[in-house]
Amino acid sequence: MPRVYNFSAGPAILPEAVLKQAQEELLDWHGAGASIMEMSHRGKEFVSVAAEAEQDVRDLLGVPNNYKVLFLQGGASTQFATIPMNLLRGKATADYILTGAWGKKAISDAKKYCTVNLAASSEEGKFTSIPSFDSWSLQKDSAYVHYTPNETIGGVEFHWVPKTGDVPLVADFSSTIFSRPLNVSRFGLIYAGAQKNIGPAGVTLVIVRDDLIGHALPITPSVFDYAKQAEADSMLNTPPTFGVYLAGLVFKWVKAQGGLEAMATINERKAKKLYAAIDGSNFYSNPVEKASRSWMNVPFILAKPELDKEFLSGATSAGLTTLEGHRSVGGMRASIYNAMPEAGVDALISYMVDFEKRKA
């Protein structure tokens, strides 16, 4: 079976070159006679893999020296609780910006630890836009401002970074990290589950500014305490070694593509042509306001929902898989992360045009 173009929102497509390298190294990592999966996380082999992965994150994102780079576990969802546990620093309130389903979950967990000030929300408009910054009611004494730069389900993305002054900005970058350059110094904390744009599920990347850690609530379990994890090089307990190794290969692949500037150019081009195909048809539509459309997750609906099943089965036969929209939204969703080749987007567009001709 040839490899398909997998449009899954996550776990998502990985670069083929990375999978091939992992396959070649699987039984015998760099002449060690064993798989990296089978080695001690404290051994020099894995320690070098983890150190290189961290350095590559620092190089790609230009992470300043006063930030820690952590490889944690539990997915982005675990961060929904560990962020308030670590970052409240004696304060009682945190500001949250709600632009979709993931932000909603983050808020729900944060409420267990602090008062959540819902500073802005696009829920009334069914999460199809981003509230303009002028309308946000940020509070000066909040511990931090949390937002979701890319809402994976609704396909709504910030193409700008909010200015929050002295209040640290915290962002769930799960589905858009490494899609373009990022000015890390604008943020107090960035986090991302790996399974969209980084590697396999099981690794969570956290980048946090030095001065914000070391003040965790006393109830915070050690493995959830950023300061303790930073002190232990993210190895307070056994890390997800294979996931860190694979993420490291993906970072090198991104570098080989030309880094984040090059990724941004390709990603913007991929997204623009898919939205142009949707907007240019009378059969497909996308509900998101144009300025807030995601480069990574492109939901679209068919004018005749009774054709959804046929659209999907035909797509699968054409090697275009996992296009079904999230159960809460319906319709279709094409996730076109870094690892989705431009040829995959072209093939999807051709299929859509042909399907419309035959069925609309």
Ligand X SMILES: *Cc1c(COP(=O)(O)O)cnc(C)c1O
Residues marked active site are found at: 102, 172, 196
Decide: is 73 part of the binding site for ligand X (CB under 6 A). Answer: no
Decide: is 294 part of the binding site for ligand X (CB under 6 A). Answer: no
Peptide bond into 218 cis (omega under 30): no
Piece of the chain touching ligand X by CB under 6 A; list 49-57, 72-80, 82-90, 341-349: 72-80
Decide: is 102 part of the binding site for ligand X (CB under 6 A). Answer: yes
Rg of the chain (C-alpha set): 21
Place of tokens 């700008």: 160
The residue of the chain with the least Cβ separation from ligand X equals: 75
Piece of the chain touching ligand X by CB under 6 A; list 56-64, 172-180, 261-269, 342-350: 172-180
**Quick one: three-class SS letters along the chain?**
CCCCEECCCCCCCCCHHHHHHHHHHCCCHHHCCCCHHHCCCCCHHHHHHHHHHHHHHHHHHCCCCCEEEEEECCHHHHHHHHHHHHHCCCCCEEEEEECCHHHHHHHHHHCCCCEEEEEEECCCCCCCCCCCHHHCCCCCCCCCEEECCEECCCCEECCCCCCCCCCCEEEECCCCCCCCCCCHHHCCEEEEECCCCCCCCCCEEEEEEHHHCCCCCCCCCHHHCHHHHHHCCCCCCCCCHHHHHHHHHHHHHHHHCCHHHHHHHHHHHHHHHHHHHHHCCCCEECCCCHHHECCCEEEEEECCHHHHHHHHHHHHHCCEECCECCCCCCCEEEECCCCCCHHHHHHHHHHHHHHHHHHC
Among 133, 180, 148, residue whose Cα is nearest residue 79: 148
Task: State the binding string over 237-266 for ligand X (x if CB under 6 A, else -).
Answer: ------------------------------
| Alpha-carbon separation of residue 195 from 75, 187, 199, 319 (angstroms) | 9, 22, 5, 21
- Report, in Å, the least distance between residue 325 CB and ligand X: 15
Decide: is 75 part of the binding site for ligand X (CB under 6 A). Answer: yes
Decide: is 152 part of the binding site for ligand X (CB under 6 A). Answer: yes
Decide: is 77 part of the binding site for ligand X (CB under 6 A). Answer: yes
Decide: is 322 part of the binding site for ligand X (CB under 6 A). Answer: no
Decide: is 193 part of the binding site for ligand X (CB under 6 A). Answer: yes
Decide: is 76 part of the binding site for ligand X (CB under 6 A). Answer: yes
Closer residue to ligand X (CB): 196 or 270 = 196
- Report, in Å, the least distance between residue 309 CB and ligand X: 25
Decide: is 148 part of the binding site for ligand X (CB under 6 A). Answer: yes
Piece of the chain touching ligand X by CB under 6 A; list 36-44, 75-83, 125-133, 271-279: 75-83
Decide: is 178 part of the binding site for ligand X (CB under 6 A). Answer: no
Decide: is 6 part of the binding site for ligand X (CB under 6 A). Answer: no
Decide: is 129 part of the binding site for ligand X (CB under 6 A). Answer: no
Closer residue to ligand X (CB): 12 or 227 = 12
Cβ neighbours around 199 below 10 Å, total:
28
- Report, in Å, the least distance between residue 77 CB and ligand X: 3
Dig out the tokens for 163 from the structure: 């200015």
- Report, in Å, the least distance between residue 176 CB and ligand X: 8
Decide: is 83 part of the binding site for ligand X (CB under 6 A). Answer: no
Piece of the chain touching ligand X by CB under 6 A; list 14-22, 69-77, 134-142, 179-187: 69-77
Among 10, 84, 331, 344, binds ligand X (CB under 6 A): 10
Decide: is 197 part of the binding site for ligand X (CB under 6 A). Answer: no
- Report, in Å, the least distance between residue 110 CB and ligand X: 13
Closer residue to ligand X (CB): 193 or 331 = 193
Decide: is 174 part of the binding site for ligand X (CB under 6 A). Answer: yes
Among 79, 38, 286, residue whose Cα is nearest residue 177: 79
Residues that bind ligand X (CB under 6 A): 10, 75-77, 102, 148, 152, 172, 174-175, 193, 196
